Amino acid sequence: MKAKTFENLIRRVVREEIDYALRREIKSLKEDLRDEIKPSIVEHTERMVEVPQQNSLKEKIMGKKPFKKQNFVGDSTLNDLLNETAAGDTNTQSAMAPVSLSEPFSSGAPLPMDTAGMPAEVASAVTRDYSSLMKAIDKKKGL
Cβ partners under 8 Å of residue 111, min gap 6: none
Which candidate, 74, 95, 73, 101, places its Cα nearest to that of 86? 73
Residue that wins the pLDDT comparison between 128 and 49:
128
* pLDDT for the residue numbered 57: 63
- pLDDT tens-digit series, residues 17-35: 999 999 999 998 888 888 7
The whole-model pTM stands at: 0.26
Reported as a single tens digit per residue, the pLDDT across 37-46 is 766 666 666 6
Q: How does pLDDT run across 73-87, given as a tens digit for each residue?
A: 888 888 887 877 777
